[in-house]
Amino acid sequence: MKVSALQKARYAYNPKLPAVLQQDIHTIAPAAGEPAEPAVDREALKALFPNTYGMPAISFVPGKSEEISRRRNVGVILSGGQAPGGHNVIAGLFDALKHANPESKLFGFKGGPSGILNNDAVEITETYLDPFRNTGGFDIIGSGRTKLESEDQFEVCAEVCRKRDITALVVIGGDDSNTNAAVLAEYFAANNSGISVIGAPKTIDGDLKNAAIEVSFGFDTATKTYAELIGNIARDANSAKKYWHFIKLMGRSASHIALECALQTRPNITLISEEVEENQTTLNEIVDYICSIIAERGNRGSNFGLVLVPEGLIEFIPEIKILISELNDLMAGHAEEFSQLEDFTAEAAWIGAHLTAESKSAFTTLPEAIQRQLLMDRDPHGNVQVSRIETEKLLIEMVDNRLKEWKADGRFSGSFSYQNHFFGYEGRCAFPSNFDADYCYSLGYNAYLLLGSGLTGYISSIANLAAPAGEWKAGGIPVTMMMNLEQRHGSKKPVIKKALVELDGEPFKALAANRETWAKDTCYTFPGAIQYYGPAEVCDQPTITLTLEQQNR
């Protein structure tokens, strides 16, 4: 296989490990202080996880451990959307396992969680792994969105592990996959299966974050990749001075990606879904806000600019949120009847007849393309696939119409030409930044030490991430500690709480304090491409979000 010069060079990169993981053999030390309990729903969670609830958060100290060096077979699964660094989680896991005992084996289940259900696995050897070290993508074993959630599936997992003599599984995934991994760990423990389950926090969206998990892997590289592209567009906009660029950014419900990219590039307008929800801003008001900035700049002769739109925005606009919730209920509750409708016209008519008057009005005022997108299939969790809704185009159309009105009544004397962009897939498989390469390798290495210590129901935790890698702290957090109960599909389910942008958090406050200036003036900054070789202040810096969040800790 032909590889690029950078790929070849990256094979030789040695990911940095926290000092404690560089020691030879480790033992666990339960963290002192409060027991690791969740903030809410304690009794209910205790009842749901009788075997894995209330375990302590743990850290490692150098010391001899026979248990860690025992020969064992381990399985690994990549779950959900790609995120830069996944290969290094597997590399770290492999290296730790082989270092502890060269006889141990690592099996990668192919294509995501369905791989274990189908007993479709490959043994990961040194030769198999080497071409994937420090590279982006999940192609080493593939990923998928099948959910492991029923007891029947858990039994199949146990059976497959027994056949392969696997005594531990590492699930690399987001909030839902780690929730399901914890339920699986509880099932294995309750049935004395002798199989432990350890999670690793993955997702570019950055929404798997809490006191114990400072950031999910992939967020660093993905945001730096998008920020490079946004910076390039900003420079083009400021050179040509003729377009407004509307840029939608991935991230599902959370606006962390849009916020981080805004802090890195200083665009004229950044919409934050969580703020829209908090202020109950309607679609009309959002359009007015955008138009007012375009008009102000245009009236001064600057007919160009950048607007960042988080992909989940549509779900947070109050009238559309209600509409989506009604659509979800109707489409799930009448799935059979809905699937029989022959085309979009029939679907729209059926929907119109079943929606409340307010939602019907919200639906009918949307352009047909957006109506169609709102009626597309839901994801396996029953959510609208926000990455497929062209919110940036919806806003452009509405802004264009409104500016024409403003022009007619003399409020706008400039011109409005636009371009639309959607950045998501461009960043999910980028070469991991040094930060993600190091972080992911440490997460995988650490995951082995957790399972090697006989722990189950834990998520691999590497903390103190704003400091240099050598000072990072390694340990494990029981997943139940990060859970609460939420209404899902008509009943209360234990889930890891999704972290949305906090409006009283430092990253949002940094945007809020500057956005008026960034709107009026042209203050773009140009982060440039991710650098892999050079001084640490260029190559190893964490995101602005992480730095701001950590500064007062």
Name the site residues for ligand FBP (rule: CB under 6 A): 80-81, 83, 174, 203-205, 250-252, 311, 386-387, 424, 428
Cβ closest to ligand FBP, residue 231 vs residue 251:
251
Nearest approach, Cβ of 425 to ligand FBP (angstroms)?
7
Q: What are phi and psi of 491, to 5 degrees?
A: -140, 165
Angle between helices 506-520 and 256-265 (to 10 degrees): 50
Q: Write the DSSP symbol of residue 489.
A: T
Nearest approach, Cβ of 145 to ligand FBP (angstroms)?
6
343 catalytic residue (yes or no): no
CA distance 182 to 262: 35
Given the residues 95, 175, 176, 205, the one annotated as active site: 205
Q: Which amino acid is at 302?
A: S
Cβ closest to ligand FBP, residue 133 vs residue 248:
248
CB 95 within 8 A of CB 15: no
- The set of residues, in sequence order, having a beta carbon less than 8 Å from that of 55 and lying 6+ positions away, is 36, 455, 457, 458, 478, 480
Cβ closest to ligand FBP, residue 68 vs residue 249:
249
Cβ closest to ligand FBP, residue 209 vs residue 428:
428
Cβ closest to ligand FBP, residue 65 vs residue 203:
203
Nearest approach, Cβ of 174 to ligand FBP (angstroms)?
4
Nearest approach, Cβ of 168 to ligand FBP (angstroms)?
23
Nearest approach, Cβ of 383 to ligand FBP (angstroms)?
9
Nearest approach, Cβ of 241 to ligand FBP (angstroms)?
32
Which of 117-124's residues contact partners 24+ apart within 8 Å by CB, and which partners? Answer: 117/146, 117/148, 117/153, 117/156, 117/157, 117/160, 119/160, 119/163, 119/164, 121/75, 121/164, 124/76, 124/90, 124/94
Locate 131 and state its tokens: 């071409």
Residue 55's nearest CA partner among 481, 443, 454 is 481
CB 411 within 8 A of CB 323: no
CA distance 390 to 395: 9
Nearest approach, Cβ of 40 to ligand FBP (angstroms)?
23
Cα 142 to Cα 89, 128, 133, 137, 528, distances in angstroms: 14, 14, 15, 9, 30
Cβ closest to ligand FBP, residue 145 vs residue 334:
145
CA distance 88 to 200: 12
CA distance 463 to 122: 31
Classify the C-alpha dihedral 446-126-123-203 as positive or negative: positive
Q: Which amino acid is at 461?
A: S
Cβ closest to ligand FBP, residue 56 vs residue 310:
310
CA distance 142 to 109: 8
Residues designated catalytic: 205
